[in-house]
């Protein structure tokens, strides 16, 4: 139950691009850059292409290439740059961050903080030519899930590493709005995790996980899940893979949902190229996963996934 599926680590992997080369008959062309040729990343690209084909209303060609091939094509064909670039994952975003200032770029599947760090490195002029779909779910959506699924678990713990430390004020506000008491601990070193975890679990009813590689990684996940399970403290994860590994439940976005949202942004951008890109945004489409074996082991009666999803969709954020 506590083995870490390889899918979980894809949250921190680099990702994607698509492009049509010179001589194409397409009215517009989009380059989607895949950092790795993995099924999850290909699914984002496939969903993006399918959505554009069904709803674009204009001739848009989409080609998908791996990171190395995409960089080679961009550098060798500087006179025929794509109409728009889509990256999937942090590494691809970093690679294109300071290049191709005149080409609009949409970054997907990267943490909010990673995007903000990239944005700070760019000039004011370049900033308006890029946007993002975060991999993170909105904090209020996550606290709403806790409230709907675990109404009696009002003390929520969160452990923040360097990648998530800046979220503390937002976490406090979002928890307070949901009438939840938030317990926060900070890590500056991986060696601090075990003592901080043992301390915070003594005063918490649930542990909310955020995608911070210092806190949640292949070396820490097994112990974290065992420790919380022994103390009967359910873990709210951030991916389906996390739930399959032993978290109680999670709200997350599938690769197909990310591709659909990306296609909507690309379509609008290509239809009105003179307009600024929309601001960076959280996932618009999402799903809920529940680990029924964990719920039974903890003696918890959790609503079914569709009921939780419907309630989240009906709740303002």
DSSP element (H, E) containing 88: strand 84-88
Measured between alpha carbons, how far is 52 from 20 in angstroms, rounded to an integer? 14
Supply the pLDDT for residue 296. Answer: 98
Look at residue 276 and tell me if it is in a domain: no
How many other CB atoms are there within 10 angstroms of residue 1's CB atom?
A: 12
Q: What burial class does residue 79 get, using C-beta atoms within 10 Å of its C-beta: 0-12 exposed, 13-18 middle, 19+ buried?
A: exposed
Q: Same structural domain for residues 122 and 147?
A: no
Tokens of 112: 């909010």
- Tally of domains within the chain: 2
Q: Same structural domain for residues 108 and 211?
A: no
Tell which residue, 251, 250, 201, has the closest CA to residue 224: 201
Q: Same structural domain for residues 128 and 156?
A: no
Supply the pLDDT for residue 25. Answer: 47
- Cα radius of gyration (the chain): 20
Distances (CA, A) of 61 to 48, 66, 182, 273: 11, 17, 48, 16
In 136-295 the beta strands, taken as DSSP E runs, fall at: 155-160, 181-186, 206-208, 235-237, 249-252, 287-290
Q: Which residue has the tokens 């074996």?
A: 293
3-state percent breakdown (helix, strand, coil) of the chain, nearest 5: 45, 20, 35
**pLDDT tens by residue, the chain, 317 residues:** 444 444 434 433 333 333 333 334 457 899 999 888 899 999 999 999 999 988 756 688 998 998 888 777 777 766 678 899 999 998 899 888 656 567 899 999 999 988 998 887 765 544 458 999 999 999 999 999 999 999 999 999 999 999 999 999 999 999 999 999 999 999 999 999 999 999 999 999 999 999 999 999 999 999 999 999 999 999 999 999 999 999 999 999 999 999 999 999 999 999 998 899 999 999 999 999 999 999 999 999 999 999 999 999 999 88
Measured between alpha carbons, how far is 113 from 120 in angstroms, rounded to an integer? 11
Q: Same structural domain for residues 259 and 247?
A: no
Q: Same structural domain for residues 60 and 196?
A: no
Q: Three-class SS string for 22-46? A: CCCCCCEEEEEEECCCCHHHHHHHH
CATH number where 47 lies:
3.40.50
Q: Same structural domain for residues 169 and 306?
A: yes
Look at residue 64 and tell me if it is in a domain: yes
Look at residue 278 and tell me if it is in a domain: no
Query: Chain centroid to CA 7: how far?
Result: 13
Measured between alpha carbons, how far is 121 from 142 in angstroms, rounded to an integer? 30
Measured between alpha carbons, how far is 317 from 312 in angstroms, rounded to an integer? 9
Supply the pLDDT for residue 81. Answer: 81
Q: Give the chain's end-to-end CA distance (angstroms, integer).
A: 33
CATH number where 239 lies:
3.40.50.2300
Question: Which residue range(s) make up the domain with 267?
Answer: 6-134+255-271
Spatial strand order in the sheet of 235-237 = 181-186, 155-160, 206-208, 235-237, 249-252, 287-290
User: Whole-model pTM?
Assistant: 0.86
Q: Residue 39: which region, alpha, beta or left (left: phi > 0; alpha: psi -120 to 50)?
A: alpha
Write phi, then psi, for 66 (nearest 5 degrees): -75, 170
In 221-304 the beta strands, taken as DSSP E runs, fall at: 235-237, 249-252, 287-290
Q: Same structural domain for residues 88 and 148?
A: no
Q: Could you tell me which residues are beta bridge partners of residue 243?
A: none
Look at residue 1 and tell me if it is in a domain: no
Find out whether 30 and 104 touch, Cβ atoms under 8 Å.
Answer: no
């Amino acid at each position: 139950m506590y083995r870490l599926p390889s899918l979980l680590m894809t949250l921190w992997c680099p990702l994607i691009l698509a492009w049509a080369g010179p001589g194409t008959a397409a009215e517009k062309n989009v380059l989607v850059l895949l950092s790795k040729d993995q099924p999850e990343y290909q699914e984002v690209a496939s969903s993006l292409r399918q959505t554009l084909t069904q709803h674009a209303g204009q001739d848009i060609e989409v080609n998908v290439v791996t990171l190395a091939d995409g960089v080679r094509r961009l550098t060798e064909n500087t006179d025929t740059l794509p109409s728009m670039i889509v990256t999937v994952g942090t590494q691809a975003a970093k690679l294109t961050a300071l290049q191709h200032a005149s080409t609009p770029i949409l970054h997907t599947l990267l943490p909010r903080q990673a995007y903000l760090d990239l944005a700070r490195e760019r000039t004011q002029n370049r900033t308006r030519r890029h946007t993002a779909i975060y991999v993170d779910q909105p904090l209020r959506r996550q606290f709403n899930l806790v409230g709907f699924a675990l109404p009696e678990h009002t003390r929520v713990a969160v452990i923040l590493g360097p990648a998530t430390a800046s979220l503390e004020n937002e976490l406090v506000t979002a928890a307070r709005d949901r009438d939840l008491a938030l317990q926060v601990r900070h890590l500056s070193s991986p060696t601090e995790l075990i003592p901080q975890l043992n301390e915070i679990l003594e005063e918490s009813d649930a542990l909310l996980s955020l995608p911070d590689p210092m806190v949640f990684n292949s070396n820490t996940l097994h112990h974290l899940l065992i420790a919380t399970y022994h103390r009967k403290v359910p873990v709210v994860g951030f991916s389906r893979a996390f739930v399959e590994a032993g978290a109680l439940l999670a709200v997350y976005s599938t690769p197909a949902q990310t591709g659909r949202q990306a296609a909507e942004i690309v379509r609008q951008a290509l239809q009105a190229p003179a307009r600024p890109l929309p601001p960076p945004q959280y996932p618009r489409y999402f799903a809920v996963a529940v680990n029924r074996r964990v719920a039974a082991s903890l003696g918890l009666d959790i609503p079914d996934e569709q009921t939780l999803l419907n309630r989240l969709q009906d709740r303002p954020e």
